[in-house]
Structure 1
Amino acid sequence: MFLRTFGWSFAITAVGLIAAGLLWGAEGFGIVLILSILEISLSFDNAVVNATVLKRMNPYWQKIFLTVGVLIAVFGMRLIFPLLVVGLTAHLNPATVIDLALHSDQTYNGSTYAQYLEAANPAIAAFGGIFLLMIFLDFIFEEKDFNWLSWIEKPLEKVGKLEAFSSVIALVTLALAANFFAAENAETVLLAGIMGLVTYLAVNGLSSVFEAGLEEEEEAEAEAEKTGKSIVQVGGKAAFFLFMYLEVLDASFSFDGVVGAFAITQDIFMITLGLGIGAMYIRSLTVFLVRKGTLDDYVYLEHGAHYAIGALAVILLVGIEYHIPEIVTGLIGVAFIGLALGSSILRNRRAAAAGGSGDSELVGSNSH
């Protein structure tokens, strides 16, 4: 199963690195490898969160996630989307943006493509930061079957019963970020952050439609069999909303990786290849977690991933004004995942030692 799930990732890695070596020599090979590792380290928590959504999709849509989703992630989010952002924020026409991207040392009005992308960072960070913050807040405020850090999560679950409280917190955070970290770009940051909030509410609302229809799905499939309508189409229509949610989530995670990649190289093709290889592994890892039932076996992994998302959201917002090294972002995510995995293993051992009878106690008392 491991090779079946990661086979395409291994194959694309081999082809990509060979191509990098042939096109750009040893230096290009090394840069693409570093970018791949950077993308994986920054997005490991993304894979865990993706898995919580993907497990509700049927096998057909899981394959779509691994095929069409990869194309969107590589070419859409890590190549075309930055071009769109530069064009919109710098008010450049598409031809100029593409020309700048293809010629990294070329300037337009005194700035290169990388400099234009860096100038767009406040808008990118505000959008992605608020979107990710909403994911974290909605998780931390909702009632959960298991609590990892009970002393934090239980009080917040009570507070979270207030209607739209997470949106209020996000808006207050956005206002503070615009005031303290974006004195010269406050209007841009506020607009981008509000768009991030609106996007989250929209895609989350669509996925909630799917959630509400889960109980009716079997009836719909039975009706589809009677009428001769494709069951795949029925499942596809329902899963489409979740697929869109995953793609926007991936975009939010890819922002810091794309911007950070220009600190390593300004060659857009190296960046796309390196980050694309990393994105492929994240998708394979997501499917692997689903098929192995890892989230059910290690119940705190989802918690750790969401805490990492919360930390990334803060880093993005602070990064509007201050540069935070990508290695710091990656290590924070890995640390949360590692701690959550360790806590899950300890919980499972205690449950096994108690013959499974202590599960309910562990749910309420575990706070490491």
Structure 2
Amino acid sequence: MFAKTFGWSFILTGVALVLAFLYGGTNALILCAILGVLEISLSFDNAVVNARILERMSPFWQKMFLTVGILIAVVGMRILFPLLIVGVTASLNPAEALTLALEKGDIETEGTYAYLLNEAHPQIAAYGGLFLLMLFLDFMFEERDIHWLGFLERPLAFIGKLGSATLVVAMAALLFIGAFAGDSQVDVFIAGAAGILTYLLVTGLGDLFDVDGDGDTDADDTDATAAKIAGGKKSGPNGLVKATGKAAFMLFLYLEVIDASFSFDGVIGAFAITSDPIIIALGLGLIGAIFVRSMTIFLVKQGTLDDYVYLDHGAHWAIGALSVILLLTINIHINEVITGLIGLVFIIAALTSSIIRNKRVAAAAPATPEFSK
């Protein structure tokens, strides 16, 4: 199972390291390996959230996530997204942005690709930070039977009874960070508002196409409806109702937007290590993004999220921490090691708590009587 799921990840990791060595020698190989480790460490929480959504999709749409989705993650977010940001920021056409990207230059040198992308960090952080903050709040504001950090989650669930609590808190956060954004204030407000609107649009379209499965389905979706994005409904012998048609398409879009938002910190953090777009694409894309897909599939096939009930909570606390870190980096520098480790710490803590809970439940369960034949 492990070898089958992660086989291609290890093969492509080898390919990426060989290409990095051929491109820039030993130094490029080392940088590529560091970026791969950075992306994987940042992506445990991403894999958990992805898995929870992916398990509600039909096999066809799961394959779409692993094929079209990986192209979006590697080519779109790790290559085209930085080029687009630099092009817009510096008023360059795509060809000029690519030429600038291939020129050597560090993050401190004005006019270089790395410098321009770093200058756009406030907008990127505001957009990604507010989107992820709303994802975190929607999960925490929902009333649920199981709590991990109950002393925090129960009060948050109570606050969630306030109508539009997620939007209220997100707008308050935007006003707060915008007030201290200095020269970038207008850009931060616009980007943050865009992040909020993107989240509302994607989740709103999910409701429109009955992604939560609580209303009438579209004519194209009569064979199945989706479980709720953030909660999920159990049905049938296989537990979760599988989404198809427009409902699955909306889940796919939702999944891709979340996946893209998770990649912001990795893309920006990579430029603290190297400004070479080729090495970044190999390390973050060919190694990191592929491993995220493999981890996601492994979690789905193993049923890990159902066996370890606090993993969802840990992943969303990691999302909340990442969103706060992104918003704080608009004004202050936070070491990439902290960003990379905080999600891993939450996931490990949630997994450990889940294992302890499972042992406690098993010990409390009445013994099954044995009957002799």
Q: Deviations over 1:234-256 (max 9, x none)?
A: 82432111111111111111111
> Alignment partner for residue 274 of structure 1, among 266, 277, 283?
283
* 1:206–1:242 contact (8 Å) kept in structure 2: no
Shift of 1:216: 5.8
* 1:129–1:317 contact (8 Å) kept in structure 2: yes
Shift of 1:3: 1.7
Shift of 1:72: 0.6
* 2:32–2:282 contact (8 Å) kept in structure 1: yes
Q: Deviations over 1:267-297 (max 9, x none)?
A: 1010001001111101110111011110000
When normalised by structure 1's length, the TM-score is 0.89
Which residue of the partner structure matches residue 52 of structure 2?
A: 52
Does the alignment pair 1:240 with 2:244? no
Does the alignment pair 1:202 with 2:207? no
Shift of 1:314: 0.6
User: Which amino acid in structure 2 is aligned with residue 258 of structure 1?
Assistant: V
Does the alignment pair 1:118 with 2:118? yes
Which residue of the partner structure matches residue 225 of structure 1?
A: none
More helix by share: 1
Does the alignment pair 1:347 with 2:346? no
Shift of 1:319: 0.3
Which residue of the partner structure matches residue 62 of structure 1?
A: 62
Q: Pick closer, same or farther for the CA change 1:214–1:272 going to 2, 3 Å.
A: farther
Matches of 1:269 and 1:205, distance apart in 2? 37
Q: Pick closer, same or farther for the CA change 1:206–1:145 going to 2, 3 Å.
A: farther
Which residue of the partner structure matches residue 222 of structure 2?
A: 220
What pairs up with 1:1-368 in 2 under 5 angstroms?
1-105=1-105, 110-180=110-180, 182-208=181-207, 209-213=209-213, 220-221=222-223, 235-276=244-285, 277-355=287-365
Matches of 1:15 and 1:68, distance apart in 2? 20
Q: Percent identity?
A: 57
User: Which amino acid in structure 2 is aligned with residue 36 of structure 1?
Assistant: G
Q: Pick closer, same or farther for the CA change 1:19–1:186 going to 2, 3 Å.
A: same
* 2:122–2:330 contact (8 Å) kept in structure 1: yes
Shift of 1:213: 3.5
Higher mean alpha-carbon deviation, 193-202 vs 245-254, is at 245-254
Matches of 1:353 and 1:103, distance apart in 2? 62
Shift of 1:210: 4.0
Matches of 1:356 and 1:193, distance apart in 2? 53
User: Which amino acid in structure 1 is aligned with residue 194 of structure 2?
Assistant: M
Matches of 1:136 and 1:16, distance apart in 2? 33
Q: Deviations over 1:147-181 (max 9, x none)?
A: 1111211122121011111111001001111112x
Matches of 2:44 and 2:300, distance apart in 1? 14
User: Which amino acid in structure 2 is aligned with residue 8 of structure 1?
Assistant: W
* 2:221–2:244 contact (8 Å) kept in structure 1: no
SS at the partner of 1:211?
coil
* 2:106–2:275 contact (8 Å) kept in structure 1: no
* 1:31–1:270 contact (8 Å) kept in structure 2: yes
* 1:100–1:106 contact (8 Å) kept in structure 2: no
Equivalences, count: 344
Matches of 1:350 and 1:213, distance apart in 2? 34
* 2:87–2:94 contact (8 Å) kept in structure 1: yes
